[in-house]
Amino acid sequence: MEYVIEMLNIRKEFPGIVANNNITLQVKKGEIHALLGENGAGKSTLMNVLFGLYQPERGEIKARGKVVNISNPNVANDLGIGMVHQHFMLIDTFTVTENIILGKETVSKGKIDLKKAENEVREISERYGLAVDPKAKISDISVGMQQRVEILKTLYRGAEILIFDEPTAVLTPQEITELIAIFRTLIKEGKSIILITHKLKEIMEVCDRVTVIRKGEGIGTYDVSGTNPTELANLMVGREVTFKTDKKASHPKETVLEISDLTVKDTRGVPVVNSLNLNVRAGEVVGIAGVDGNGQSELIEAITGLIKKDNGSIKLNGKELSVLTPRKITESGIGHIPQDRHKHGLVLDFPIGQNMVLQTYYKQPFSKAGFLNKREIDLKAKTLIEEYDVRTPGAHTPARALSGGNQQKAIIGREVDRNPDLLIAAQPTRGLDVGAIEFIHKRLIEQRDKGKAVLLISFELEEILNVSDRIAVIFEGNIIAEVDPKNTTEQELGLLMAGSKDKKVGVEKNV
């Protein structure tokens, strides 16, 4: 079988580290080839070598059997290599077509021939079943659609090999299903796909072969049909990984968080949280399952005092929270792992050490009489860095320089260390690899076992089912069902999340 692209024994060094060592990646025509590795294993570096952004120190790249020198991205483009980035490179105020032709405009008499371009875009879109409206503005279309525009962009430029960098990280479950269908069409049309991911489920579902890299080393290439998720996870992490979080039965005690009849309206006056009732007790993990945008963010922000409620009450250990400032709420015993760690969890330009005291800096021993005590802050930072295995050169490294997983560990360390009665974890493992996910789930269970209340909000059903002791399904701002994770399935939950109140009927329909 002929390979469309081969990267042989690639080595790439940066000052002080070897990012890639002896990695071989061979992609056959018409296959979906997964590139699997933990965060920071060197996947992006390898792809940047392929895309001509970095020059390898050793090794060679062959395209259709011929050795090539990809000295810059234009060479990669000419070879038919296209990349769909995780963070989209689109101009919000431009239309789909304008974005696609950017840099490759069809010009006639000094004017851009938008009509012709639109037709071309429409044609490609139809051929691959992308269903993108060429005239739509980027700011008006969904994230899933924007991703398709990125795909179109590479196809418009004649890509034969498409690299997808973590494409499902930003998508809803439905959009993921649709993306997989698009993958299949692309393959049918003779394209090849490299899928960068650390989600094992996706690999098992769509890929033909998988190349595993670990800490910059090439581990090997495997047929997906001849392997299983456990084996892949072990190869990727380099040790045994457990998927099922080990936990004993929960012993819930007194109610810690009591939300009754809570209503929150958005700026237009539409209720986004609608007469919601929810209790979380000490010693249990309550998982909130739901599709993004059903009031989860507003619920958390109302509990933590960041937005005002319109009606109802939120009580922590019997004390009304909604009249307090965010700081008083934090002090009364709430820890919060925010959904967006860059925006809400960290001050990225601060050293990681100073981020560890973001809620406690004004208290002793971190400060006295208005002056910071840097020694105590460093001490706390060092303890947490060690205890939570935050991999950083030191406490003075800017938070920005850490990988996502390590940033998240730092946040979790900070929040758990304050020993809150209620820990709110919103999407705590988003974008992280299995090793980090395992670590974080263990910590959440640990809090529960210490007799704390944990409220977990996640769009990942697997996570909800795995970690929660009780699942509350949120739909249009209301808890529409409560289920026991032991007696439910992903399918059942999925239907509830879509708003079907009577789960029995729903399941039967599905069967």
Partner 1 sequence: MSNTIRKISIPVISVLLGIIVGTIIMLVSGYDPAAAYIALWNGAFGEVYFVGEVVRQITPLILAGLAVAFAFRTGLFNIGVEGQLIVGWLAAVWVGVAFDLPKIIHLPLAVLAGAAAGALWAFVPGFLKARFRVHEVIVSIMMNYIALHVSNYLIRNVLTEKADRTENIPASASLRSDFLSSMTDYSRLHWGILIALGCVLIMWLILQKTVKGYELKAVGFNQHASQYAGMNVNRNIVLSMVISGAFAGLAGTMEGLGTFEYVSNKAGFTGVGFDGIAVALLGANGPLGIVFAAALFGFLKVGALNMPLEAGVPNEMVDIIIALIVFFVAANYMIRIFLEKLSKNKSKKGEK
User: Which chain residues interact with partner 1 by CB under 8 A?
Assistant: 304, 306, 325-331, 336, 338, 343-350, 354, 358-359, 361-362, 367, 370-372
**Cβ 342 to partner 1 shortest distance, Å:** 8
Q: Of 6, 290, 311, nearest to 172 (Cα)?
A: 290
Nearest-approach distance from CB 345 to partner 1, in angstroms: 6
Nearest to partner 1 of 132, 424 (CB atom): 424
| Distance (Å) of CA 191 to CA 81, 188, 208, 221, 399 | 10, 7, 14, 20, 39
User: Can you list the positions of beta strands (E) in 224-375?
Assistant: 255-265, 271-281, 285-289, 311-316, 319-320, 334-337, 367-368, 371-372
Q: What is the dihedral of CA 249, 491, 245, 456, to 10 degrees?
A: -80
Q: Which is nearer to partner 1, 14 or 449 (CB)?
A: 14
Residues 271 and 255: their CA atoms lie apart, in Å, by 26
Q: What one-character DSSP code corresponds to residue 138?
A: G
Q: What is the dihedral of CA 191, 195, 201, 204, to 10 degrees?
A: 50
For the CB of residue 47, give the shortest distance to partner 1 in the complex, in Å.
23
State how far the Cα of 182 lies from the Cα of 235, in Å rounded to an integer.
29
Minimum gap (Å) between residue 61 Cβ and partner 1: 22
Pairing of strands 192-197, 32-36: parallel
CA distance 431 to 489: 24
Residue nearer to partner 1 on the CB measure, 267 or 325: 325
Task: Select 255 or 359, whichever has its Cβ closest to partner 1.
Answer: 359
How far is the C-alpha of 403 from the C-alpha of 425, rounded, in Å? 19
Report the alpha-carbon distance of residue 350 to residue 396 in Å, rounded.
Answer: 8
Give dist(CA 446, CA 337) in Å, integer: 15
Closest approach, Cβ 437 to partner 1, in A, equals 23
Smallest separation, CB 145 to partner 1 (Å): 27
| Nearer to partner 1 (CB atom), residue 231 or residue 361 | 361
Q: What's the closest the beta carbon of residue 428 comes to partner 1, in angstroms?
A: 15
Q: Decide whether 326 or 499 has the Cβ nearer to partner 1.
A: 326
Least CB distance to partner 1 at residue 362 (A): 5
Measured CA to CA in angstroms, residue 48 lies from 42, 76, 202 at distances of 10, 10, 23
Are the beta carbons of 461 and 374 closer than 8 angstroms? no
Two structure tokens written together for 314 = 């939120």
Nearer to partner 1, 214 or 344 (CB): 344
Distance CA 16, CA 348 (A): 24
Nearest CB to partner 1, comparing residues 10 and 346:
346
CB of 346 to partner 1, least distance (A): 6
Burial per residue of 216-239, b for 16 or more beta-carbon CB atoms within 10 angstroms, e otherwise: bbbbebbebeebeeeebbebbbee
Question: How far is residue 50's CA from residue 197's CA, in Å, rounded to a whole number?
Answer: 17
Nearer residue to partner 1 within complex by CB, 279 or 304:
304
Q: Could you tell me the smallest distance in angstroms from the CB atom of residue 411 to partner 1?
A: 10
131 or 323, CB closer to partner 1?
323
> At its nearest, how many Å lie between partner 1 and the CB of residue 304?
7
Shorter beta-carbon distance to partner 1: residue 124 or 372: 372
The burial class, CB within 10 Å (0-12 / 13-18 / 19+), for 267 is exposed
**Cα 366 vs. chain centroid, distance in angstroms?**
33
